[in-house]
Structure 1
Amino acid sequence: MGEVKSTGRLATMLGGLGLVAGALMIAGSRHWLPTTLPSYPPTPEAGEARSAPRLPVPDARPGQPARRIAEDLIAPPPLDAAGIERIGARPPLGELGLASPPKTAMPQDWRETLLYRPVAVSSAVFEAMGRRVIISGAVDIDPDRTCSFGDAVWPCGQRARAAFNAWLRGRALKCVLPPDGDRFAIAAPCRLGKQDVGAWLVANGWAMATPGGLYGKAEAVARGAQMGIFGPPQ
């Protein structure tokens, strides 16, 4: 019995030494094995449907930043349609920025005629090449007319004629006239380059618009801005 116990103790000691030696050999090696291995989702079998990846649900609160939801896809920040209000377009600052009024039907013998070296005789009337033309759609301001602004009274008619002449600077006007228009004064639409002459005069307050004419809004703008005859002495 004593011999058997001695043999068992010896085997136990040798086993312990073997475990220590094995541990020392592993510690002295250059590479360590991971204690735990990463887990991967099981590969679906042939014919088994793959489930689509679950994307994050966007936050409905306004003001959230854009975020990446896939490798090549960036979702814009969510918008709350209830907080969006559509407003109308800003009104134009004046009639000068609007498109030229549509051309009115003229008799077949009326045609565009260039009138060189025009001279204003009043705020909406000029003479050139033996013709006397009244700008259609504009109400002329008589040169003898005076205007009042507050306690001041000033010769607005003379100032309106001077402003028209200063704007013309002798440049040629293109007007739609009949062939025999040199025998009498005639109301006609005219342009200086691409600018409608009547629109310029009324929008700057140097003439008034005919009732129900094309330049009613232009006159309202000039009155509101106190321009030309509607403003202080100039």
Structure 2
Amino acid sequence: MSRANQPSRPLLAFALGSLGLLAGMVMIAEGGHWLSPNPPSIAPVEDTGDPNPTSPAPTHNRRPGQPARKIAENLIAPPPLDPSGIERTEPRPPLGELGLATAPKTPMPRDWRETLLFGPVATSSAVFEAMGRRVAISGTVNIDPDRTCTFDGTAWPCGQRARAAFNAWLRGRALKCLLPPDADRFAIAVPCALGKQDVGAWLVSNGWAMAAPTGVYGKAEAVARNARMGIFGPPQ
């Protein structure tokens, strides 16, 4: 191209500058509105008072007793329940009657006192010695240590086993018995307790002693016999 046909440099520079200025001022038309190529910064959304915000509250700020926040309440919901279809049933009866026996209600003389007997040692299934006294548990029939029981044709020393079971349960713990003032002079049958447990009830209900005919442990003995516990069961 000849120098005469080439545009002059000032004209070319002016044209390029005009194109750059026009490109910077171009506006984009969208949806009938003119938008700037550089969108303005988004202002923070003001609180609209929505009672159910979408952002969950931090769990570490939850105070004890504050109700739990429901998750996906509109997606997961409990099945509808018709109250008319609910039927109230009677409470389940006790599994057994072993704990129904209570301490004898026989009135005792006023001068009898509850006395702690430390270090008791069973000499038979319902008799023990402690602090120089020999005490039998009232309302029970003692099993002599020499007694032998038979179960399904097999004999076994149930008397010795009953005494051992009584000692294992006592473990030398103090018994609280209702004693007369002169109880150290002779053997006596009185009610005793280990903590809040009636000793006679425990012995009879576990089959390690029998109930006296006029005592309060007859029902407990019947349960022990039916359950084949203690002397009424297999060799132990």
Bin the TM-score by the shorter chain. Answer: 0.5 to 0.7
Displacement of 1:78 in angstroms is 2.5
- Does the 8 Å CA contact 2:104/2:215 hold for their aligned counterparts? no
Distance 1:223 1:232 in 2: 12
- What are the equivalent positions in structure 2 for 1:1-234 lying under 5 Å apart? 66=81, 76-79=82-85, 90-96=93-99, 98=100, 100-101=102-103, 103-234=105-236
**Kindly tell me: are residues 210 and 88 of structure 1, through their superposed partners in 2, closer, same or farther at Cα, counting changes over 3 Å?**
farther
2:116 partner letter: L
Per-residue CA deviations over 1:57-78 (Å, capped at 9, x if unaligned) read: xxxxxxxx64xxxxxxxxx432
Deviation string, structure 1 residues 40-96 (Cα, Å, up to 9, x no partner): xxxxxxxxxxxxxxxxxxxxxxxxx64xxxxxxxxx43259xxx7965751442423
Instruction: Check 1:199–1:105 CA distance in 2 against 1; reply closer, same or farther (3 A cut).
Output: same
Equivalent residues of 1:100, 1:195 under 8 A apart: no
Hey, which of these two has a bigger chunk of helix by percent?
1
Instruction: Report the Cα offset of residue 213 of structure 1.
Output: 1.6
Gaps of at least 5 residues in structure 1 are 1-64, 67-75
Aligned to 1:167, what secondary structure does the other structure show?
helix
Residue 119 of structure 2: SS of its match in structure 1? coil
Calculate the aligned-residue CA RMSD, in Å. Answer: 2.1
Uncovered stretches (5+) of structure 2, i.e. residues with no partner: 1-79
Give the 3-state SS of the residue equivalent to 1:95 in structure 2: coil
- Kindly indicate whether the alpha-carbon contact (under 8 Å) linking 2:101 and 2:220 is maintained by their aligned counterparts in 1: no
CA distance in 1 between counterparts of 2:101 and 2:126 reads 21
Determine if contact 2:101/2:216 at 8 Å carries over to the other structure: no
Greater length-normalized contact order (CA 8 Å, ≥ 6 residues apart): 2
CA distance in 2, matches of 1:92, 1:137: 24
Residue identity in the other structure for 2:218: G
User: CA offset at residue 101 of structure 1?
Assistant: 3.3
CA 1:99/1:214 → structure 2, altered by over 3 Å: closer, same or farther? closer
Cα separation, 1, equivalents of 2:128 and 2:165: 13
Paired AA for residue 83 in structure 2: P
* 1:124–1:141 Cα contact (<8 Å) kept: yes
Alpha carbons 2:148, 2:156 under 8 Å: kept: yes
Q: Matched residue pairs, number? A: 158
Q: Distance in 2 between matches of 1:212 and 1:191?
A: 20
Q: Deviations over 1:207-228 (max 9, x none)?
A: 0001142111111111111110
Percentage identity across paired residues of the two chains: 73
Alpha carbons of structure 1 residues 164 and 102: separation in structure 2 relative to 1, 3 Å = closer
Report the TM-score, using the length of structure 1 for normalisation: 0.62
